[in-house]
Amino acid sequence: MATHEHLILVEHDVEGHATGWVTAHPDLPQVRVTDVAATRGDGVFETISIGSGHPQALAAHLERFARSARMLDLPEPDPTVWADAVRALADLLADHEEAWVKTVLTRGVEGQPMPTGWAYATISADFRRERTDGIDVVLLDRGLRSDAATTSPWLLAGAKTLSYAVNRAAAREAARRGADDALFVSSDGLLLEGPTSTLVVRRGTELLTPPAALGILPGTTQVDLFAAAPEWGLEGRVATLTAADLAAADSAWLVSSVRHAAPIRSIDGVERAIDSELSAAMNGFLRRRLR
Ligand code: PLP
């Protein structure tokens, strides 16, 4: 086991209530091959950044964990048990400036009533290049209309499910096109989100982000940035955006818990200006969050 990898198993009873947690060995087998996490991707997760031992936006992550669980008709994750588990893991990584914890709740082993839960923690990769030089992004049609979350809730648009094969495929398509990341667009032309990030654009003194009602994940990083926006003389607002809006924006970022704010330096090969000063301010703020 690498010393910077840690695992906690969150135990549940047959009613789906968390009964407590135990530490476990991350290198040993812990999940059954008949767990629907492995066979169907049937579960939910969160990835929470840890700054020098402080879980960041923990309450928002646990609320979203519960929201995803509700969307999948899974038992409600117990916020106290999960928060304790995340904090215990964060403490073990307090010597590292940047780390993360992934919480997972699955429908459990096929044919058994208990959900399976665990939280895994390790140190973060080095994202200095993405945060300072920026990222090349391609627009990818998600193939869903912007009202898909309303018309077809069974598609689970906007839930953080374990079925991220589509998101991984989008990232590989971006790499095939020579880019670092993707930005999904609805089939009717509205900008949505990245495969693992939220879009934020600056237009004048406003920071704008697409509405969660479009079937995208409500981002915790974006919420924290909008709360801090007045520090930078800016105001955050939710707005529907098109590719033309993005091209015309003063600057744009893909923001997320672990990579933080990655300024977009090109879209479909067309270069655009990045705001180095504001990017540095955003990333400094995100890294220093104590909660
Ligand atoms: N959208 C998707 C699809 C994601 O997977 C993520 C995070 O992984 C985000 C947005 C950004 O959310 P957060 O800022 O809470 O990390």
How far is the centre of ligand 1, averaged over its atoms, from the C-alpha of 260 (Å)? 10
Question: In a mutational test of the pocket of ligand 1, which residue from 217, 222, 255 has the highest number of ligand atoms less than 8 Å from its CB?
Answer: 217
CA atoms within 13 A on the CB side of 194: 31
Q: What is the pLDDT along the chain (291 residues), one digit of tens a residue?
A: 567 999 999 999 999 999 999 999 999 999 999 999 999 999 999 999 999 999 999 999 999 999 999 999 999 999 999 999 999 999 999 999 999 999 999 999 999 999 999 999 999 999 999 999 999 999 999 999 999 999 999 999 999 999 999 999 999 999 999 999 999 999 999 999 999 999 999 999 999 999 999 999 999 999 999 999 999 999 999 999 999 999 999 999 999 999 999 999 999 999 999 999 999 999 999 999 999
Ligand 1 atom with the smallest distance to the CA of 223 is: 14
How far is the centre of ligand 1, averaged over its atoms, from the C-alpha of 198 (Å)? 6
Ligand 1 atom with the smallest distance to the CA of 255 is: 14
What's the alpha-carbon Rg for the chain, to the nearest Å? 19
How far is the centre of ligand 1, averaged over its atoms, from the C-alpha of 210 (Å)? 13
CA atoms of 81 and 22, how far apart (whole Å): 11
How far is the centre of ligand 1, averaged over its atoms, from the C-alpha of 29 (Å)? 28
Q: What is the pLDDT, as a whole number, of residue 214?
A: 98
Q: What Cα–Cα distance (Å) separates residue 64 from each residue in 9, 161, 189, 232?
A: 20, 11, 26, 27
CA atoms of 288 and 118, how far apart (whole Å): 27
Phi and psi torsions of 114, nearest 5°: -80, 135
Q: What is the pLDDT, as a whole number, of residue 175?
A: 98
How far is the centre of ligand 1, averaged over its atoms, from the C-alpha of 156 (Å)? 15
258-284 per-position pLDDT tens digit: 999 999 999 999 999 999 999 999 999
Closest CA to ligand 1's atom 9: 197
Question: In a mutational test of the pocket of ligand 1, which residue from 100, 142, 257, 286 has the highest number of ligand atoms less than 8 Å from its CB?
Answer: 257
CA atoms of 228 and 6, how far apart (whole Å): 32
Instruction: Please indicate, yes or no, whether the overall pTM of this predicted structure exceeds 0.95.
Output: yes
Which tokens is 82 given?
A: 């999960």
Helix ranges (H only) for the chain are 36-40, 58-71, 79-92, 128-132, 148-151, 165-176, 220-228, 243-248, 276-288
Binding pocket residue ranges, ligand 1, CB within 6 Å = 47, 193, 196-198, 217, 219-222, 255-257
223-240 per-position pLDDT tens digit: 999 999 999 999 999 999
Q: How crowded is residue 84: how many other Cβ atoms within 10 Å of its Cβ? A: 17
Q: What Cα–Cα distance (Å) separates residue 232 from each residue in 57, 140, 208, 227, 283?
A: 20, 31, 14, 11, 13
Which tokens is 111 given?
A: 């044919």
Q: What is the pLDDT, as a whole number, of residue 2?
A: 62
Q: What is the pLDDT, as a whole number, of residue 3?
A: 77
